[in-house]
Amino acid sequence: MIELDDVAYSYGGGELLSEIKLDLQPGSFHFLTGPSGAGKTTLLKLCYGALVPTSGHARLFGKELRGMVRDDIAVARRRIGVVHQDCQFLDHLTVTENIALPLTVSGRDLLAESANLKELTQWVGLSNRADAKPPELSGGERQRAALARAVIMSPDVILADEPTGNVDWEMSQRLMRLLIELNRMGKTVMIATHDLALIRAAKSHVQARVLRISNRRLQLAGADL
């Protein structure tokens, strides 16, 4: 689905990532870990086409990223749900409108999707906050809304960048349960996090590969994880 083959990425004269090999197979679950500044966000951005590798090959759904025009990338992103630590909402829209944003930009009829939208809002536990504006939400509510927005188009892949970074342990467990549930539905999930306790807790519920970025390279994490 998403494949990085011997990918390197440089910025401002310095190489941030080197010799990256990654193949996200359908239905797989990955954790991506490493210290802050190791390049986890950069790697995720390469996975959803926000960045183009300096060298090597990145393929999104079989298409070479370097050969894709902006519109191709936009279409590919409809198959990839992205959850950011800072959520990235449009603050002038309600929670429901933000969750429905991928449907809106792809020209879907929101009326026809209203049942799906309601069900999803309920699934992430935000039914009573549907008409609130994002700045009125707590950290956990924001993350759940971001997750709902990421999955509204029923994407093949879900990429989450530190989704539990701003929430307490209980909420992070709740978010993890939602992500594991999505994986059980057949979605490919990759979560970038520096929270090793979270990974350890999740591993008892899902068969996950844990990858670590160390010294610009991607490695399979040790048995301690």
In the complex, minimum distance from the CB of residue 115 to another protein, in angstroms, rounded to a whole number: 17
Q: Which of 134, 133, 96 is nearest to 118 (CA)?
A: 96
The answer to whether the beta carbons of residues 81 and 189 sit under 8 Å apart is: no
Rounded to 5 degrees, φ, ψ at 9 are -140, 125
Can residue 101 be called a binding residue for another protein (CB under 8 A)? yes
In the complex, minimum distance from the CB of residue 49 to another protein, in angstroms, rounded to a whole number: 10
Can residue 77 be called a binding residue for another protein (CB under 8 A)? yes
Beta carbon nearer to another protein, 82 or 120:
82
Can residue 89 be called a binding residue for another protein (CB under 8 A)? yes
Among 70, 135, 215, 222, binds another protein (CB under 8 A): 70
User: 92 CB contacts (<8 Å, ≥6 apart)?
Assistant: 133
Can residue 196 be called a binding residue for another protein (CB under 8 A)? no
CA dihedral over 198, 203, 206, 208, signed as positive or negative: positive
Among 97, 141, 156, 162, binds another protein (CB under 8 A): 97
Can residue 106 be called a binding residue for another protein (CB under 8 A)? yes
Q: Build a one-symbol-per-residue string for 140-169: x at contacts with another protein by CB under 8 A, - elsewhere.
A: ---------x---x----------------
Q: Which of 175, 156, 158, 177 is nearest to 166 (CA)?
A: 175
H-assigned helices in the chain? 40-47, 70-77, 95-99, 101-105, 114-123, 139-151, 169-184, 196-203
User: Quick one: CA torsion of 68, 53, 47, 62, rounded to 10 degrees?
Assistant: 40
In the complex, minimum distance from the CB of residue 63 to another protein, in angstroms, rounded to a whole number: 15
Q: Which of 171, 149, 1, 8 is nearest to 88 (CA)?
A: 149
Beta carbon nearer to another protein, 29 or 48:
48
Which span sits near another protein by CB under 8 A: 33-41, 56-64, 106-114, 116-124? 106-114
Beta carbon nearer to another protein, 106 or 128:
106
Q: Which residues lie near another protein (CB under 8 A)?
A: 50, 70-71, 74-75, 77-78, 82, 84, 88-93, 97, 101-102, 104-107, 110, 149, 153
